[in-house]
Chains A and B, each alone.
Chain A
Amino acid sequence: MSPSDARSHLPLTHLSYHILVALADAPRHGYGIIKEVERGSGGAMSPSTGALYLALQRMQEEGLLEETAERPPEEEDDPRRRYYRLTGLGRRVAAAESERLAAILGVAAAKRLVAEPGDA
């Protein structure tokens, strides 16, 4: 697949982007994603359970996520839980969206709206 293929998914909704970021380092189950999104956004983003699963379902249909049989051993296993991980496309879309946002952030920094990434 070409990079342009990933770009056709942009821009992502906030929730979709947060979900992709949450899954970037490890597969998680639904509640694990919610907690990771809350942690990653400093509590500013806390999706409702309904919104999360609608998004998960749509992102699966779009090929960004897939279910995995891997179950992290330290988690206590609940048969009702399903674990999700990024697909290759999902990882590329996440990267493309991150680049897009970083570009905007760069412009904002140049206009002194925020500190340059890396600045103290």
Chain B
Amino acid sequence: MRESRLERLGRALFGALARLLPRELRRAAGEEMRATFAARQRDAARRGAAPVLLLWAREIPGLIATAVRARAGGPSAPSARRARAAGRAAPSGRRSRGAPLMETLAQDFRFVLRSLRRSPAFTATALLVVAVGVGATIAIFSAVNAVLLRPLPFQDPERLVMLWEHNPEKDWWQVNAAPANALDWRERVDAFQDVAIYDSFSDGITFVGAGGAELLAYAMVSGNFFDVLGVRPALGEGFTWEDTWEGGRPRVVLAWDTWTTRFGGDPSVVGRTVDFGGTEAQVAGVMPDGFAFPHGDTQLWIAYGWPEAQRDQVWFRRAHWVWAVARLQPGATHEEAEAQLDNVAAQLMDEYPGTNATMGAGMTPLHDFLVGDRRTPLLALLGAVALLLLIACSNVANLLLVRAQGRGQELAVRRAMGAGSGRLARLVLLESAVLAVVGGGLGFAAGMQGVRALDGVRSLTLPGVAGLELDVRVALFAAAVVAACGLLFGLPPAWRAGRAEPAGALREGGRGGRGRGPLRATHALVVAEVALSLMLVTGAGLMVRSFLRLRSVDPGVRVEDVMTFRVVAPDTRYGSRDEVVGFFQALDARLEALPDVEAAAMARQLSPASSGWSSDFSEASWEPERAGREILHREVSPDYFEVMDVPLVAGRPFTDADVTDGDWVVIVNQAFVRQHFSDEDVLGKRIAFDAVPTDGSRWRTIVGVVGDERQEGLSAPPRPEVFAPLYQDWTRGATVALRTRGEPEAVMPGARAALAEVDPLLPPAEVRSMEDIVAEALARDRFLLVLVGVFGAAALVLAAVGIYGVIAQATRRRTREIGIRMALGAEAGDVRGMVLRQGMGLVALGLALGLGTALAGARVVRSLLFEVAPHDPVTFVAVPALLAAVALLACWLPARRATRVDPVGSLRME
């Protein structure tokens, strides 16, 4: 059996804590102790993770206690004991001077450990509650830390900004730049030290290694890409700015993993020429381990190698597909740079009115840009988990107070026997500190492991840029949380203990009561718990409602039984349009012939994963100033609508006859007809993809109308879209969709073979079923829902336990009073009502407080909700009702017990 991560963590924890032991003991037995601990842990691990955690729960406090004891007594203690035993005085050497405090502390510590061991149910409950609260908090904080707090792993990352374009006419904001514009910014904005460019999308390049042909994910970048980020290659020189422009052989830089796994970590590969499926490229370097920008899965970088002449071509300024990252000059401010960028954008408007008439530019700190819309969900989760932690703390405080009431006599006796009030308070604080440290330690270990096990967390992190590693900030945060917890739930009972009146407590003895103070404190805690729970559960309720809405959205395509993968016909082997079209036609024919494939189709993209290209258009009969803006367009093969089950509303589908030599035709969706033609009959109308048609414009006839798809995710409404035949208006990259009989995945061996027959150097990329694609589109919402749901459920349980504990304790204290009432003729119903009224009064107060806060705070989560108002009436009625029902149950049990009080027996208790 191999050592698990849990065991490694345990050994590290034990090793670290063993440093607390005095040096003599560590020297004599430190190594052996660690070996023994490892052996014990190994035995426990054979029985599962829970025994390991139980072992920790014993060993960690045991080790701390040992350290305290060893230091208090010191190695000379045995001889002191022998001396005492022999009737002589203990030597008053140097050790005894500091001893009193250490010795009292050690005594207190032993006392606390003993008393915790004596009440295992209390100890286990408190530890579990603390562990859950701290563990969940650490897990969420480590994600928040990785994404929001930790600086980007680049040199002087605060000087990096993302540049983007905007266009009010097209309703564009923060869109990709056109390369020609980005190059002009680089040359004209003085506040920029340099500007790098990279493609906003990623694709695969064929690599034939020992395992056959495979696709490596690459990013196209300008030659100064690594310099601008300030990350040097681990091997080789990397690119230079000249590599941006055509200069012989393409050059590539490998990611560390690619180098070690595909090239065996051979340093001589740098400088060598490697064949990438027909493209000869020179390896210019290897990036350090862990560097994976801009995409978490980037396996190699290719320098653009653009022809110089391209800079002056119109499309280079019209098409928007790159991101531009700028490094500010040292000392340059964000405002200066922004003003200069604005200025240059205005110059470009004048210089290139054809493409830039309404095009503006803007910038955002790179970190903020990459974080994007992850901030709100992360902070919402942090808020939710903070509520849970507060609830957990009030719960433990309640348990401690209730316990203190039970122990009132014990403490009073100690006080009467001369223990100072400070010492008593210290005992209680020490007890809560032990609970906080041990429970927090367990929670910390579980939380760090847990957050990595959560698959959905990736939908909120920045792959390749921000890993979830444990760092100093997380460790400090964890220590602070544990300390805060210990104080939060330790101070109220410690305060009570410090003020314990020996005489009063002893007199009250048999009744176990100690005035009304602790009662008031526990009542306040119940109110707080109910209020906090209401806030948290309301958040969970809103998420549930929103998710149900989102899941019931019709994507416009049938997602069941569809398998998809992506292929790109590289220009090195498919030079002309006819060759590319021929490739797709051959592939289509072979896929259709597979036994488990009902129909095969290809499209530039599939909904709802990405929207793809957009452009303006005009209709043949329109006035020159009337133009349609921002319609999506996509090339699809004839069977696309059949495979995706998109209904044909009017006209005809594409056929195999819609090729380059035939009439140029398009099919539009209903949103297009609705928005641009007010639902009139569009069949036969002719459109061109130009806002202002010219003699060179290509006119296409609308031959069909199809239903709407949600192209940009389930929460975005369908956009107007125009479809063109794939064999007429071609594209190099397309996603294949196969409607299958039976399990979608089962067709892949056949599909791979079919693809290999057409081109053995072209493996399929992004192999996913349609259901997986939709699940991925929902991944973040599902993740948030599950987390907040679990927090909410935990809050409900904690609140119920808290209410039950307090009411049960209060009822026990009133046993005598209830007995008298019943002896005087009170009915069971009266007694039940009395207990219920007391409990539900507190609950009602908590509900009112929580409802007010939740109503005020709900707006924070507005951006996370889909078609659900932050003040959704259903949620705001259902959640308080649910909480009230749970609270009623928690009060009902002690109330029922109260009615069974035997009047005579309760009086005899005196």
Are A31 and B39 in touch, CB under 8 angstroms? yes
**When the two chains form their complex, are residues B62 and A80 in contact, meaning their CB atoms are under 8 A apart?**
no
Question: Which of A50, A51, A52, A59 is most buried by chain B, counting CB atoms within 10 A of its CB?
Answer: A50
Q: Which of B105-158 contact A (CB under 8 A)?
A: none
Report whether B62 and A50 are in contact in the complex, using a CB–CB cutoff of 8 Å: yes
Q: Is the CB of A49 within 8 A of B63?
A: yes
Min CB–CB distance A45 → chain B (angstroms): 12
**Of the residues B21, B39, B77, B78, contact of A50 by C-beta under 8 Å:** B21
Cα distance A57–B62 in the bound complex, in angstroms: 16
Closest to B81 in A: A62
A62 vs B78: C-alpha distance when bound (angstroms):
6
Residue B507 is within 8 A (CB to CB) of chain A in the complex: no
A50 contacts across to B, CB distance below 8 A: 18, 21, 33, 59, 62-67
Which chain A positions have C-beta within 8 A of B21? 50
Are A30 and B32 closer than 8 Å at their CB atoms? Answer: yes
| A120 on interface, CB distance cutoff 8 Å | no
CB neighbours of A57 from chain B (8 A):
25, 28-29, 75
Whether A9 is near chain B, meaning CB under 8 Å from some CB there, is yes
With a cutoff of 8 Å between Cβ atoms, the chain A residues found around residue B59 in the complex are: 48-50
Cα separation A41 to B25 with both chains bound (whole Å): 27
- B29 x A56 contact (CB < 8 A): yes
Chain A interface residue count, CB cutoff 8 Å, equals: 25
CB neighbors of B among A20-49 (8 A): 29-31, 34, 46-49
Contact A62 B82, CB 8 Å, known A50-B67, A51-B65, A54-B25: yes
CB-based A-B contact count at 8 angstroms: 80
A54 partner residues in chain B, CB cutoff 8 A: 25, 66, 69-70
Task: Check if A48 sits within 8 Å of B58, measured CB to CB.
Answer: yes
- The answer to whether B75 and A61 have CB atoms under 8 Å apart is yes
The SS class assigned to the B binding surface is helix
How far apart are A76's CB and chain B's nearest CB, in angstroms?
A: 11
Interchain CB contact (< 8 A) of A46 among B58, B65, B66, B82: B58
In the complex, A81 has a CB within 8 A of chain B: yes
Q: How far is the CA of A62 from the CA of B58 in the complex (A)?
A: 27
A80 with B58: CB separation less than 8 A: no
**B610 located at the interface, meaning its Cβ lies under 8 Å from any Cβ of chain A in the complex:** no
Looking at the complex, which one of A47, A52, A80 makes contact with B31 (CB distance below 8 Å)?
Answer: A80
Choose from A8, A49, A80 the contact partner of B40 (Cβ within 8 Å): A49
Tell me, rounded to whole Å, the shortest Cβ–Cβ distance linking A6 to chain B: 11
> Cβ of B58: which chain A residues have Cβ within 8 Å of it?
46, 48
CA distance A54 to B62 in the complex (A): 11
Q: Which residues of the other chain, B, contact A51 by a CB distance below 8 angstroms?
A: 62, 65-66
A78 within 8 A of B: yes
> Using a CB–CB distance below 8 Å, which chain A residues touch chain B?
8-9, 29-31, 34, 46-54, 56-59, 61-62, 78, 80-82
26 intermolecular pairs with C-beta atoms under 8 Å apart: A8-B82, A8-B86, A9-B85, A29-B36, A31-B36, A46-B58, A47-B62, A48-B66, A49-B14, A49-B36, A49-B37, A49-B62, A49-B63, A50-B33, A50-B59, A50-B62, A53-B32, A53-B66, A54-B66, A54-B70, A57-B75, A61-B75, A62-B79, A62-B82, A80-B32, A81-B35
The residues of B with any CB-CB pair to A shorter than 8 Å are 14, 18, 21, 25, 28-29, 31-33, 35-37, 39-40, 58-59, 61-67, 69-70, 75, 77-79, 82, 85-86
